[in-house]
Structure 1
Amino acid sequence: MTERIAGWRCIGCGKVDAPQPCVGVCQDRKVELVLAGDYDALLARTQELESALALIARITPREGEWEASWRALQERARQVLK
């Protein structure tokens, strides 16, 4: 699970600040951050794509039903790719 911390972001320069009690050993390090909303949207999209892919990986059509199954999987893929 991804940990989230509360902080502040400057609307001008974009500086992010999340003050914590300092124990005197702080060192600034360059980090890459994403907005939680952007992360949530990407996570939802990834889960949706994995769900569609799982259908392809786990479903075995009945004898003589390959074409119908293939068309159903294509339709599911079209819905996900919208």
Structure 2
Amino acid sequence: MAFVITEACIHEKAADCADVCPVDCIEEGEDQFYIDADICIDCGACEAACPVAAIYYEDELPEDQKIYMQKAEEFYRIK
């Protein structure tokens, strides 16, 4: 499991989440930040640091935000 950055992050470029990540699994995309699920260690530091409450644990994603898990997978697949 991993954390997922959702809709509230779109066009939010604060980068607080990336700054606190101990394994550098957060990268900036064109319109938001993404978490690499293969690297994330589920520490939760990013969730606590997010200024717009856009980060959810994968199992706690609201139904209408699950598309952002797929969006992150596509971001890292294309890289």
The answer, yes or no, to whether TM exceeds 0.5 is no
**TM-score tier after normalising by the smaller chain length:** under 0.3
Q: Whose strand fraction is larger, Structure 1's or Structure 2's?
A: 2
- Where is the helix percentage greater, Structure 1 or Structure 2? 1
TM-score by length of 1: 0.26
Larger RCO (CA under 8 A, 6+ residues apart): 2
What's the TM-score, normalizing by structure 2? 0.26
